[in-house]
Structure 1
């Protein structure tokens, strides 16, 4: 089991990593190198030989391998990203890059997404070095850049240009699963991710006839775009169940002692109460308009208008997604992928999933582990190019009333120190025996 020093280190590492501002605004100005050097120094202190890799100067990734005791066993990738989304300091109770530790809670951007997991990995690896522990299978540790944008400088670059560093790895774990979900009725649920919806960020372009704002214009690009955006935003996507979501619904129904009627999913979700939130975002494709760009003067009708849409599609749902967008945009608006990544699905009956379940249950015996599909995406998408099956496993034991999902990209992001201690213990247990 991880020692007391590891429990102290995980809190300190989380705080110190938060203090390294690695804000990724998506324009290429992020610099993860200081955080990468921080991680590499601590890996080296554990006797490892970390490799620092860059596609773009300053956009640094770190990779290290821990040799297992069974050379015939497939390798396991454990990865976390170093970049974070922006934070407006005047909206926060503390400075978002202070890493302040107050009343047993670590505050700051990245406390949950996901410098906490980076710190857990470092703390576990260093504890192993002190104890002389080697895992059964090779464990490849990776800290990546650019996850909060395109991943082109991070996991995409590593998968495309440095695949040899991940040789032998068949599975990987990263964000964001195995956290405590309180259902309001005394149950503690620990969802472990075994799938992700695909990413389909779209650019819509409407073209029309430019002209004076005072004249009738039946070819107004803004009007055409607005109509298409309204249709997309109002569209009711049909229900589609993937194997992971079916497994989630079946296990949740059993937990609540109700029939798993998969022919009436909406009714089943109503009967699950608050726990339905674990499944609802992943029973359908989705498309949410997020950005509008048009015009430059109030009395000038522009010849072009642009919108961006955050689309997500289920495993196996990309063809339906494309066809639906063709219909919703209509003949006067073109659309293209601004950024696209695959949907993922991982088996829930694998030894690795069983190992994650057992590790959580050892330290949270009152908990109920269930599989779920993440509505968003992670670096597991890029690593899937190497044949690596990805799971979401960032264990945290959280108190009731702590809104875990609201911490992602939210104001006053924070994580209890006790949650980090739980994460180190569970991650250590899983990785030793995986």
Structure 2
């Protein structure tokens, strides 16, 4: 009698990633998209097939998240949360080389919106849990899996809603692992640094409003809302925030300089960024607070001076520098422009130490003996911000071994988003090993 081959996580992860990409979960940020319901039902079916009983939570029509708890060998231990989001930013097919919702394999990669943000990690989580359940391998402690709605718009209908309305789902979870960490950066000697996220910048999306007196465009008019707003926006956009090295960023740069054979100079910490290629954009943004104007709106007719003018800006501040950031913003705005928040959330930072970090490092080294794990700060934000409010230490660890020529940071929200097939299989093996050590 022959025994049927049971697929491993590495066998399944590519298929699952393709199938998730083919489910359009575009999130324009206003509940007008398709939502995550179909994707959540797909995930639920994949988990139910191996004996789990996931729960679906609909915070708004079609805005659906899924949570399931897997009992560990020692349920008395603190639990671990693994979380991923199901939504993606929109994509226009005419901009892409391949169908952004086709999940096509070409040039050794799976192509499509969400391939790196973050249906790759969703697929790894599903594939690893399916293999472990089929083989009867329980994790050392309870693991809570969460597949979430709305991360791309701040998590109001996903993680934020669940933390507020159903905190009992995460009872006992003291640590959380999510996206944008564990990916590789090739350094001299054909070795790879693997960037593990231990910090992320705070988010301040702001509306700016200037008010003046409406009037005829042909007349002398010193009280012009457009002029006041334009001046403030220019001051914000041109401001050069000073370098502020957090403990995470300093630790990353010290190890990166060592790997590149560049002396670390605390007075010129940007020196080794030139060695990092496109990733320097993301790392450079973690050396200082940043603020970028993104939208302008005023008036309705060329010869009518409007009563008000508005703009929107995307601000990001480092852990420990929130007060300094907003003081600078207010000084640059001046008295004639008011600000209010579109969205504001905290900066995070945790120490790069402890058993969970050791488990990440050991799992990476088991698959890539030349691995150089390092902590780093994410310039963007993730659902970790919401789980941190429940007291969890939060990390980004979605392991991927990447070819040196791939502009990985450019894949996030970019066109022709894609993830290497070999990277997905590598990540599934590492994540399985990590869960066994966690």
Q: State the TM-score, normalizing by the size of structure 2.
A: 0.95
State the shift of 1:365 in Å. Answer: 1.4
- Partner of 2:28, secondary structure, is coil
> Structure 1 residue 68: deviation in Å?
0.9
Deviation at 1:292? 0.6
Quote the residue 1:166 is aligned against: 170
Question: Counterpart in 2 of 1:16?
Answer: 19
CA displacement at 1:8 relative to structure 2: 2.7
Q: Which runs of 5+ in 1 are unaligned?
A: none
Residues 256 and 272, structure 1, Cα contact 8 Å, conserved in 2: no
Mapped pair 1:141 → 2:145: yes
Greater than 4 Å deviation, 4+ residue runs? 267-278
Deviation at 1:418, TM superposition (A): 0.8
Deviation at 1:178, TM superposition (A): 1.1
Instruction: Tell me, yes or no, if the aligned pair for 2:188 and 2:259 is still in contact at 8 Å.
Output: no
Give the deviation of 1:268 after TM superposition.
Answer: 5.5
CA distance in 2 between partners of 1:280 and 1:226 (Å):
27
Is 1:252–1:272's contact at 8 Å kept on the other side of the alignment?
A: no
1:29-108 counterparts in 2 under 5 A?
29-30=32-33, 31-108=35-112
Between the aligned partners of 1:336 and 1:241, the Cα distance in structure 2 is: 28
Match of 1:292 among 293, 296, 301: 296
Partner in structure 2 of residue 156 of structure 1: 160
Aligned length: 433
Asked if 1:239 is matched to 2:216, the reply is no
Q: 1:64 to 1:372 in 2, by over 3 A?
A: same
| Cross-structure match for 2:321 | 317
CA distance 1:325–1:165, shift in 2 (3 Å): same
Structure 2 partner of 1:407: 411
Q: In structure 2, the residue corresponding to 1:143 is in which secondary structure?
A: strand
For 2:258 and 2:215, the matched residues in 1 are separated by 63
Can you give the 5+ residue segments of structure 2 that lack an aligned partner in the other structure? 1-5
**Partners in 2 of 1:94 and 1:126 — Cα distance?**
30
Contact 1:124–1:424 (CA under 8 A) maintained in structure 2: yes
SS class of match (1:282): coil
**How far, CA to CA, are the matches of 2:275 and 2:408 in structure 1?**
22
TM-score (structure 1 length as normaliser):
0.96
Whole-angstrom distance in 2 between the partners of 1:105 and 1:111:
9
Q: Alpha-carbon deviation of 1:336?
A: 1.4
Kindly report the root-mean-square deviation, in angstroms, between the aligned alpha carbons of the 2 structures: 1.8
- Tell whether the 8 Å contact from 1:287 to 1:312 is kept in structure 2 after alignment: yes
CA offsets 1:376-420 (integer angstroms, 9 cap, x no match): 000000111111111111111111211111111111111121111
